[in-house]
Structure 1
Amino acid sequence: MKKLLLLVLLLYVKSMSAQTDTAYAYVDANYKAVKGWNEATYYYKAYKKDSTSYILSVHNRAGQLQKREIYLDAGLTIKNGQSVVYKNGKPTYKGIYINNEREGIFVSYDTLGNVLRTESYQRDTLNGPYTFYWPNATIQETGNYRKGKKAGEWILQYENGKPAIIEKFTDYGDSYSKTSFDESGKETTLDQIEAPPSFPGGIDKFYMFLARNVKYPRDAAEQHIEGEVRMSFLVTETGAIENVKVERGYHPSLDAEALRVMKLSPKWTPGKLFGKPARVIYSIPIRFSLR
């Protein structure tokens, strides 16, 4: 759907001759193109910034920014510059794209505007330091990625900064040592430290939810494109889903559909840390198949 919408914008953007030229497109709550403002829930705004860049922004009816991206081409296909996703007027995710690939530090924020996590990318692959924070801004988890896989020592910490779990990985992402500690520093069992979040009814129910809600993108179906999109999102202490993003994409239309559907997800059963509900980053694949 986004691709079809951008084709409409493209007709206008290509004809821009002045920096002030602007094109608009309108969509409903499901991001389906509509005729105009009266039927719209969101609107897209595209304009030529200068001779080498184009700006695409998404707004709700109140005018609040939902997303702002910089593109290298008039066709709005090559991200090249800072990309920012917003919620309630505040950034939730931002970083730099170079030729459509994430590069450098990307930052996620919670609904209060506090830093949630920082992660490092090299050519669109996690590579370098990663940090996830407690609500009080102390470090909850820290470690390093190497070519998309955890490497070296990863530490999960209590809010007071003491280690709760120390896990060690090879450069190929294989865990070979994992030790858990209570708050006094004594070794303890892992199940007393953490429990992952879960979809109500279990993972089979989650895939039933996907089957009911996924609408195979027409352009991908016509081209017989199949593949897996890996999503990541935050499950809050209440089970709400926030900070949904494509961790590893496959095709623009499939990525956009996976993102749309995950945002429709009902609440999950929250994960637990140290026996209490806690916000947890969760990752899951969504498989698109025409068979």
Structure 2
Amino acid sequence: MKLLKTDSYKFALLLLYLFSAPLSRAQETIVSYVTKNGGRTVHKDSAEYTSILRIKPNEQGLYELNDYYQNGNLKRHGWVKTLDPMRLRLEGLVETYYDSGSLEATTYYSDNKRIDTAHRYYESGTLKEIKVYLKPQEGQKRPAWDGTNKHLLYYADSTGSIQVQDGNGNIVLPHDNGIDFEQGMYREGLREGRWEGSFRKGKYRFEEWYEKGIVTRGVSTDSIGTTLPYKERDVQPEYPGGVENLRRFAAQHYRYPKEAVRARVKGQVILRFVVDTAGNPTDFEIVNDLGYGTADAGIEMLKKSAKWSPGYQRGVPVRVAYTLPITLNSGPRPPQ
């Protein structure tokens, strides 16, 4: 733990992914208005949706979660392991819905990771796909995109035409932007052989080859014919020395504002930023602020951090968004 001295106080800066705030048991629910970037607002009208956590746990010790669209329809129902609205840990069955009220998907979770069998539906109610998510082996590390952790058992297009049955078939997967697509073969639930398609709104076309769900090689081509070969489909940006080194840098360089010192602020600051195609952190955004300049201090700290190695999508440098939670706990006044 790195200790920082400010006005003769010592404050421990802990970079954690979980933070549980004390809650009053007198209330029955915790209501949050969630913004587009995942932050919180006090204004319901400016929120993307309303999230309600029921404080009383069920027999398994889980807390009921209900999210609602602005029109009042249910967006998501499920169960979580903690009462921290900013760091939900999904557990068990989670159901999501379209804003029209139609069921969109049923998915099972274990400690916030998808497991078991998931079903997705078109808004009309027609079954779209069935996937089985496999639990990673102990200590197993996967690349940024790994097609072996889930098996596609069934897929039908929007007309109801079945393209994959019992894990086998040729498929055309349209992207949400209505322009890009991917097409190729599934065998025993995994991608196999040659696939092709487009990405970045048609700016690039690609060919790639799979063996049992793993990309073995690929090549992207831009509009003027420049080719970009690759061996990994997606490569995430990396901070020099890894995430642990970023945490150490933050512990050493975050400066607790004097106003926050006097107010003895505790809680979690959450920042979002983009690593651009040159590896520079940019486009800083405050997801959750504790006030007294605590979020601005976090941004200033990030601006001083080292340059990242950039991310790539199918051989093309891309901008990638990151979220950094910073938990601030003020400690007692040290003995003189």
Normalised to the residue count of structure 1, the TM-score between the two structures is 0.49
Structure with a larger share of its residues in helix: 1
Normalised to the residue count of structure 2, the TM-score between the two structures is 0.43
Larger Rg: 2
Kindly indicate whether structure 1 or structure 2 has the higher relative contact order, using CA contacts under 8 Å at least 6 residues apart.
2
